[in-house]
Amino acid sequence: MSRVRVLVGTRKGAFVLTSDGSREQWRVSGPHFAGWEIYHVAGSTADPARLYASQSTSWFGQLIQRSDDGGETWRPVGNRFGYDGATGTHQWYDGTPHPWEFARVWHLEPSPSDPDTVYAGVEDAALFRSGDGGESWQELPGLRTHPSGPSWQPGAGGMCLHTVLLDPRDPERIYAAISAAGAFRSDDAGKTWRPINHGLKSEGIPDPDAEVGHCVHRLAMHPSRPDVLFMQKHWDVMRTDDAGGSWREISGDLPTDFGFAIDVHAHEPDTVYVVPIKSDSEHFPLDGRLRVYRSRSGGDEWEPLTNGLPQKDCYVNVLRDAMAVDSLDDCGIYFGTTGGQVYVSPDAGDSWKPIVRDLPAVLSVEVQTLP
Amino acid sequence: MIRVVLPAHLRTLARIDGEVRLEMDGPATQRSVLDALEARYPVLRGTIRDQVSHRRRAFVRFFACEEDLSHETPDSPLPEEVALGKEPFLIVGAMAGG
């Protein structure tokens, strides 16, 4: 019978939640790396026993941990993230030039074909790659040195490269998203990059139609249709059908289109999930009701999913990397909250229950579907 | 012999109980002590000083003999009591809650 392994990164450590395919009974392992911020834990699809974790604190910097046994044991690997060449400046919050400084790894994206190859999206925004299981890291500097780089500005959480999507059809094609620079695409395995933000509109930047400067919160892709991307922007839920050539808004009848997380059903490429958040100044669900919204039409038309979720007095947030889907026949949907809950829906969102209720604030959730 | 006291997170990371005792040749300086410490515990590379710039991390301080040595140059000699192992070299994480 198939199993699932949920990898949870929190403000105070990592947790591994496992269950059989029924997703009824759960074993909780952790905290791993107790007391450290775990921005992301990711598993390799090429070797599900291979996991990578981003471990950091403001005090002691960045570590990368690796497990070769599905999270039972871990060992630190390379943590030298040196920018390649002169770093130059980006804009600071006040608009003045600010030197590029490495802060932390936000997101780890293992290669779908090689467990030793993994990408790291970091703050200040840059993309790194390891080809030796995380022992050493090399920047792909073409992104950071894009001519628009000096005009990039940080979002409130820092100038983070938070999304890395690898096209399963074309190993040369990589998508990355940076808050608050926008989305970018490479068609040559990361050597060169182009902004792909045509059609995004953002109030609060000097040119609301600018090619860069948009606060993209998250991108999602269905592997069977990699030219279609879904985006949760600061405000607005967006979609592209031509690999980022142009975007159109699909917020439709959402009660608010601010949010962070977005994901796609494992077997239905037009079924999309978001968690609407009240506003950019009030990072909690509208009316204190935690609702996931699902579109079965690729956007525009959305339905609230509330069964099992708190419908009063709920003021948690769901961060950008804190939603994931499994690939069991009945697709499971998972998300974690800043209140420490991790919820599962074993029926594609129709009903929900908490796996755990009292973890530290959840930063990230990933799911592995195991044989 | 140099005695080094690490903050709790770094002792856990490096699987150290109590003080670290380093046998060193040559003068005891911040740089030589940290070089020896990182050579013995490679997992500590990058946690006390930046791996690229080698600057002390902002939330880490160095104390010894009731003095703050954080702003001494990396190659300044450490106090004799530290070099002789009578007093420990203290690596301290900034106090903060949360």
pLDDT per position as a tens digit, A315-334: 999 999 999 999 999 999 99
| Residue A178 confidence (pLDDT) | 98
CB pair distance less than 8 Å for B94 and A79? no
Question: What is the count of residue pairs from A and B with beta carbons less than 8 Å apart?
Answer: 47
Q: Do strands B2-5 and A362-370 pair parallel, antiparallel, or not at all (unpaired)? A: unpaired
Q: Tell me: the pLDDT tens digits for A37-87?
A: 999 999 999 999 999 999 999 999 999 999 999 999 999 999 999 999 999
Number of H helices, E strands in chain A: 0, 30
Q: Is B7 on the interface with A (CB under 8 A)?
A: yes
Suggest the residue from B51, B56, B59 to mutate for an interface test with chain A (most A CBs closer than 10 A): B51
Residues A229-242 have a mean pLDDT of 98
B9, B43, B45 member nearest A35 (Cβ): B9
Mean of per-residue pLDDT scores for chain A: 97
- Phi and psi of A198, rounded to 5°? -65, 125
Distance from CA of A207 to the nearest CA of B (A): 37
| Residue B97 confidence (pLDDT) | 58
| Residue B94 confidence (pLDDT) | 87
Residues A339-359 have a mean pLDDT of 98
| Residue B95 confidence (pLDDT) | 81
Nearest CA in chain A to B58: A59
Domain A3-370, CATH number (from 2.130.10.10, 3.40.190.10, 1.10.150.110, 3.40.109.10): 2.130.10.10
Residue that is written with structure tokens 């590029």 in the block: A100
Residues A187-212 have a mean pLDDT of 93
Task: Assess contact for A344 and A23: CB atoms under 8 A.
Answer: yes
Task: Assess contact for A107 and A321: CB atoms under 8 A.
Answer: yes
Q: What is the DSSP letter of B35?
A: H
Residues forming a β-bridge with A200: none
Sequence letter at residue A191: K
Residues A228-242 have a mean pLDDT of 98
- C-alpha span between A353 and A265 (Å, rounded): 18
Best CA proximity match to A320, nearest among A121, A100, A95, A78? A121
Alpha helical stretches, state H, chain A: none
pLDDT band at A206 (very low <50, low <70, confident <90, very high): confident
**pTM for the full model?**
0.96
Q: Tell me: the pLDDT tens digits for A130-181?
A: 999 999 999 999 999 999 999 999 998 999 999 999 999 999 999 999 999 9
Sequence letter at residue A234: H
Task: Assess contact for A141 and A161: CB atoms under 8 A.
Answer: no
Q: Is B79 on the interface with A (CB under 8 A)?
A: no
Q: Is A36 on the interface with B (CB under 8 A)?
A: yes
Ramachandran quadrant class, A300 (left: phi over 0; alpha: psi -120 to 50; beta: rest): left
Q: Tell me: the pLDDT tens digits for A250-283?
A: 999 999 999 999 999 999 999 999 999 999 999 9
**Cβ–Cβ contacts within 10 Å for residue A28, how many?**
15
Best CA proximity match to A127, nearest among A145, A109, A140, A113? A140
Q: Is B60 on the interface with A (CB under 8 A)?
A: yes
Q: Which long-range contacts (CB under 8 A, 24 or more apart) does A153-156 make?
A: A153/A90, A153/A91, A153/A92, A153/A93, A153/A95, A153/A180, A153/A181, A153/A213, A154/A90, A154/A92, A154/A93, A154/A124, A154/A179, A154/A180, A155/A179, A155/A180, A155/A215, A155/A234
Residues A274-296 have a mean pLDDT of 97
ipTM of the complex: 0.91
Nearest CA in chain B to A33: B13
Domain ranges of chain A: 3-370
- Chain A residues whose CB is inside 8 A of the B46 CB are 61-63, 79-80
Q: Could you give the angle at the alpha carbon of A196 between the alpha carbons of A247 and A209, nearest 5°?
A: 65
Give the domains, in start order, of chain B with CATH numbers. Answer: 2-93 (3.10.20.30)
**What is the torsional sign of CA A22, A27, A30, A32?**
negative
Q: Is A204 on the interface with B (CB under 8 A)?
A: no
> Which residues of chain B have a pLDDT value below 50?
none
CB pair distance less than 8 Å for B59 and A58? yes
CB pair distance less than 8 Å for B52 and A36? no
Q: Could you give the angle at the alpha carbon of A355 between the alpha carbons of A354 and A356, nearest 5°?
A: 90
Name B49's Cβ contacts closer than 8 Å, sequence gap at least 6: B34, B55, B56, B57, B60
- C-alpha span between A42 and A53 (Å, rounded): 6
